[in-house]
């Protein structure tokens, strides 16, 4: 029977809950070995993402990734928190290719792309049409 | 009578002897000369008749052969004429076919050339557009890079925040 990433994440969470750090490491090691045996190691990243999402949900957090062309200016995180009215687990990413503006990814699902690159792409694609 | 015979110098005995001689000669001639001669003549006559018959038959045959020859020649002429007409017809058809094929080929070549030209034109236009886009992009990127971040991103960040309100 083939399990979904979500099912694996749930199983991992169940195995990790209530354990001390040492035991958690051992559980993780066994989990990875098992996944490797089942030839599903390529799914590890997706399973961990599911796990992270579930963990953050349970703790009442939402995951927000902020992508900016250079170092993130001060005050942006607060503005985001103010708009989303939630406890936020922030991830930062620097990407000079964005040229300007900001890209916000919420829970790996919702994307707010207000970058200069996107604006340019839009303009040039309208020229092509 | 005897006197007359005497006057003519006829000796009856001699005459009788001559008659007997003549008779004997006649018998001999008849047996050894006339019969073979007559036979040879008869044979010759038959040969001549046969020859004449052969000649008549040969003439007849020659006439029939002439007729056959004429007929054969006429047939041959007719057939050759028909062959020539057919060949000419076929040649004409082939000619038309070749012309049609050539026209088709020319048309196809022209179409292909047109297609290639159109494709090249499109590709050129795409390349030019791409090149122009790259140049404009590079220019804009440079300009954006030189702008102060706060001034450059202010409006975009405002838009992002506005969008965030309705995101969740």
Strand partners, A68: A94
- Indicate the length of chain A as a whole number: 129
pLDDT at B44: 95
Q: What are phi and psi of A3, to 5 degrees?
A: -100, 150
C-alpha distance from B111 to closest chain A C-alpha (Å): 27
Residue contact A106–B153, C-beta within 8 A:
no
Are the beta carbons of A70 and B141 separated by less than 8 Å?
A: no
What is the model's pTM?
0.54
Q: Do B156 and A116 touch (CB under 8 A)?
A: yes
Task: Report d(CA B139, CA A118) in Å as an integer.
Answer: 16
Sign, CA torsion A16/A22/A27/A28? positive
What residues of B are in the A interface, CB distance below 8 Å?
A: 129, 133, 137, 140-141, 144-145, 147, 149-150, 152-153, 156-157, 159-161, 163-165, 167-168
Closest residue, chain A, to B132 (C-alpha): A124
Min CA distance, A107 vs chain B (Å)? 10
Element (H, E) at B100: helix B35-146
- Assign B109 to helix, strand or coil: helix
Say yes or no to pLDDT of A53 above 70: yes
Q: Which of A114, A117, A118, A121 to mutate to test the interface with B (most CBs of B within 10 A)?
A: A114
Tokens 């076929």 belong to residue: B90
ipTM: 0.73
pLDDT in tens, A56-98: 888 889 899 999 998 988 889 999 998 888 899 999 999 999 9
Q: Choosing among A56, A97, A112, which should be mutated to test the B contact, i.e. which has the most B CBs within 10 A?
A: A112
Residue reference for tokens 């094929």: B101
Low-confidence ranges of chain B (pLDDT < 70): none
Q: B76: domain range?
A: 2-165
pLDDT the model gives residue A1: 62
pLDDT digits (tens, 9 = 90+) for B106-150: 999 999 999 999 999 999 998 998 898 889 888 988 888 888 888
CA pseudo-torsion sign A60, A66, A72, A75:
negative
């Amino acid at each position: 029977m083939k399990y979904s990433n979500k099912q694996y994440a749930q199983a991992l969470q169940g195995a990790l809950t209530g354990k001390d750090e040492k035991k958690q490491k051992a559980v993780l090691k066994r989990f990875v070995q098992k996944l490797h045996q089942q030839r599903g190691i390529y799914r590890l990243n997706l399973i961990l993402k599911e796990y992270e999402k579930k963990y953050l949900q349970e703790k009442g957090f939402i995951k927000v990734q902020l992508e900016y062309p250079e170092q993130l200016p001060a005050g942006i995180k607060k503005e985001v928190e103010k708009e989303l009215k939630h406890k936020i687990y922030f991830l930062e990413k620097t990407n000079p290719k964005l040229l300007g503006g900001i890209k916000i990814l919420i829970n790996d699902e919702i994307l707010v792309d207000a970058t200069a690159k996107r604006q340019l792409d839009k303009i040039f694609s309208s020229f092509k049409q | 009578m005897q006197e007359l015979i005497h006057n003519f110098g006829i000796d009856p005995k001699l005459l009788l002897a001559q008659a007997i001689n003549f008779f004997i000669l006649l018998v001999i001639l008849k047996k050894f000369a006339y019969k073979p001669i007559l036979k040879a003549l008869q044979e010759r006559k038959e040969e001549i008749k046969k020859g004449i018959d052969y000649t008549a038959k040969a003439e007849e045959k020659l006439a029939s052969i002439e007729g056959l020859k004429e007929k054969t020649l006429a047939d041959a002429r007719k057939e050759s004429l028909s062959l020539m007409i057919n060949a000419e017809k076929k040649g004409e058809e082939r000619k038309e076919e070749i012309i049609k094929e050539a026209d088709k080929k020319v048309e196809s070549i022209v179409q292909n050339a047109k297609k290639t030209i159109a494709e090249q034109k499109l590709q050129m236009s795409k390349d030019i557009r791409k090149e122009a886009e790259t140049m404009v992009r590079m220019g804009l990127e440079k300009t954006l890079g030189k702008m102060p971040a706060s001034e450059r991103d202010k409006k975009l960040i405002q838009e992002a925040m506005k969008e965030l309100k309705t995101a969740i």
